[in-house]
Chains A and B, each alone.
Chain A
Amino acid sequence: MKLIIGQFVPGDSIIHRMDPRAKLITVFIFVFIVFLANNPWTYGFLLAFTVLGILVSKVPFSFIYRGLKPVLFIIIFTFILNALFTRQGDVLISAGWFQLTTAGLKQAIFISIRLLAIIVVTTLLTLTTSPIAITDGLETLLKPLKKWRFPVHEFALMMSIALRFIPTLMEETEKIMKAQMARGVDFSSGSLVKRGKAIIPLLVPLFVGAFKRAEDLAMAMEARGYRGDVGRTKFRLLKWHGRDTGLLSVLAVLTAALILMRG
C-alpha cells in the first residue's frame, strides 16, 4: 500500500533540509506579521516572501494547490463579501443594489492575499517537513512548558506513536473491509444511513484491535525500560545550521520592512 502520511513530499531542497524548529518559528511569527500589512507595498512583500518560499522549496505547484483546495472556497467567499460590502472610494461597477468600489476591490484583494499567504506558508511547512520532524521540533520548542507541568515529552511520544500506527491501522481497515465485502457488505452505495450502518461492523473490530495493540505496546514499552521522561536521552538529533539562522534573518528583514513601509 502506498501511503504518504500527512502531505509530506520528500525532497532535498534547502527548505527540506532546514531544522524543523526554524521552520516552526518562522510559520508561527509569519502568521502574526501578516497582519502588519496594510498597503500595496507591504502586501507585495508578503506575496514575494510566499512565492520565494514556493520556488526555493521546489515543491510542484500542484501539491500546493491540493493543500489550498479545501480552503479555496473560504478565500473566494471572503473576497466576495469584502468586495460587496465595502462602500468607499470610486464606484467601478454599479447595478441595482450591487456596487463594486475601488476600496472594496482593494480590500478584497488584500484580505485574500493575507489568507492565501498564511495558508501557503503553513502548507509549505507540512509539505517540506516530515511529521516526525515536526514532532521533534515541537517537543524541543515547547520544552520550557515543562516547568508548568505541561507533558511535553508524553505529548511528543503520543504523536510519534500515532504516526507509527497510522499505516498499520489503515492496512487493518482495508483487511476488515475486504473481509466484510466478501460477505456481501456494500460500503460504496446505498443511502447515507445504509452506508453508515455498514461502517459499524468495520469500526467495532478496528477499535477492539486497536485497544489490544495499545495494551501490548504498553507492555513492550515497559519491558524495554520505559518509565516516562526520567533520565531519558534522545537519539533523534536536531542540528541548527547556517541556513536556519538565514531563514530567521530573512524573516527579521521581512518584519522590519513591513513595519517601516506600512501606511
Chain B
Amino acid sequence: MSRERLIEVKDLSFRYKADAPLSLDRVSLEVYAGEWLAIIGHNGSGKSTLAKCLNGLILPETGTVLVDGLNTRDEDAIWEIRRRVGMVFQNPDNQFVGTTVQDDVAFGMENHGIDRDEMVKRMASALKLVNMEGTENREPHRLSGGQKQRVAIAGIIALQPSIIILDEATSMLDPKGREDVLSVMHELNKTKGITVISITHDLDEAAGSDRIIAMEKGRIVLSGTPREVFQHPERLLELGLDLPFAIKMRQALSEQGIAVSPDAFSEEELVEELWKLKSTI
C-alpha cells in the first residue's frame, strides 16, 4: 500500500447546534491512497458526522479537513471535493434520484456538467463495473436494495472519484445484497485503486479491512490494523461493540482451557490453528 495521504483531518471539532455537545471532538486522521479503512463505533459516536465532514456536507467548527490538499472550507473547491469523495448512504431508496437506473447514474454527471457523449461512455463502463449492465431502463421500485446500492456506486464511479465512503451502505440489505455490494467495492478497491472508507457495525466486515478506527463520543479511541485492534477484545466490548465471530470463538475456546494464540482473528487462521492443535495431541 502506498502511503500517499489522500485525506488529512486535523483537530476537527463539530457540533450540530450552538448549545449541543460536540459530535466530533478534536479528531485527527489521515486516510491513505488505496487503503480500505473501516470506521466502527456504537450509535451516536459520530461516524456519520465525520463522514459528512470529509466531503464538505458539513464544515468544521474548528480544525481543518483537506482532501488532496483542497480545504473543505474553500467554496471554490467544494464541488471538486464532492466529485473526488463519493458517498453511499444507508437507505437505498432515499438516495435514488432518477426515475430509471440510467437517470440516476447520470444525475451526478449532469451536476458536474459532463457533456452528453462522455456521459454515455462513462455510464456504460460504470454499470459494467457494478454488474448492472442491461438494467438502464429499470425503475427503482423494480430493483432490490442491493441493486439500488450498486446503481448508487455506479453513479459515483462515473464521476471518477478517488475515494468512496460507505456509510452503513449494506446495513439494510439481505446477505446476498450485502455480499454483492461488498464484492463490487473490493474489486474497485483492488483494480481501480479506489480508496474505501467503510462505516459499519459488522465487525466481520471490518476484520477484512486494511485499517480500523473505532470512535466513541466524537473521538477516535482506537486505531490500527484489524490484528492490532482485535488483540484487545475487552476494549471493544467496553466500547459497546460486538466482536467478530472468530474472536468470540477464540474466547470461548480459551474459557474451555483450549489455548489458542491471540493472533488468530480471522476464521481461516482459527481453523488453521485448531487443526494444528489437534494434530500435535
Contacts and interface: CB of A to CB of B under 8 A. Distances in A.
B278 interface: no
Q: Which of A1, A212, A213, A225 has the most CB of B within 10 A?
A: A225
Contact of B79 (A1, A164, A221, A225): A225
B130 to A, nearest CB: 16
Interface in B86-114: 86-87, 89, 91, 93-99, 102-103, 106-114
A168 interface: yes
Nearest to A212: B94
B191 to A, nearest CB: 23
Interface in A215-255: 216-217, 219-227, 231-237
Chain A at the B interface: SS class:
helix
A160 to B, nearest CB: 6
B111 A164 contact: no
A152 B86 CA distance: 28
Contacts of A160: 98-99, 103
A167 B141 contact: yes
A85 B24 CA distance: 78
Contacts, number: 93
A227 B159 CA distance: 16
Instruction: Report, as a range, how many residues of chain B touch the other chain.
Output: 35 or more
A216 B156 CA distance: 17
Nearest to B114: A233
Contacts of B119: 233, 235
Interface residues of A, number: 30
Given A164-B140, A167-B141, A235-B116, A220 B97 contact: yes
A144 B116 CA distance: 22
B120 to A, nearest CB: 8
Nearest to B102: A235
A132 interface: yes
B139 interface: yes
Contacts of A219: 52, 57, 89
Nearest to A171: B141
B147 interface: no
A231 B114 CA distance: 9
B95 A216 contact: yes
A31 interface: no
Nearest to A223: B87
A164 B95 contact: no
Contact of B94 (A3, A217, A233): A217
A225 B95 contact: no
Contacts of A235: 102-103, 106, 109-110, 116, 119
B70 to A, nearest CB: 14
A224 B113 contact: no
B111 A225 contact: yes
B97 A233 contact: no
Contacts of B112: 225
A168 B111 contact: no
Contacts of B141: 1, 3, 167-168, 171
B116 A220 contact: no
A105 interface: no
Contacts of A132: 99, 103
Contacts of A232: 110-111, 113
Given A223-B87, A234-B110, A161 B97 contact: yes
Nearest to A220: B95
B82 A223 contact: yes
A233 B113 contact: yes
Contacts of B111: 224-227, 232
A235 B55 CA distance: 25
A138 interface: no
Contacts of B110: 232-235
A212 B91 CA distance: 11
A42 to B, nearest CB: 41
B232 to A, nearest CB: 35
A236 B109 contact: no
B83 interface: yes
B98 A164 contact: yes
B97 A222 contact: no
Contacts of B57: 219, 222-223
Interface string A166-206: 01100100000000000000000000000000000000000
Interface of B: 52, 55, 57, 79, 82-83, 86-87, 89, 91, 93-99, 102-103, 106-116, 119, 139-141, 155-156, 159
Interface of A: 1, 3, 132, 160-161, 163-164, 167-168, 171, 212-213, 216-217, 219-227, 231-237
21 contacts: A3-B141, A160-B103, A161-B97, A164-B97, A167-B141, A168-B140, A168-B141, A213-B93, A224-B108, A224-B155, A225-B82, A225-B159, A226-B107, A232-B111, A232-B113, A233-B113, A233-B114, A235-B102, A235-B109, A236-B103, A237-B116
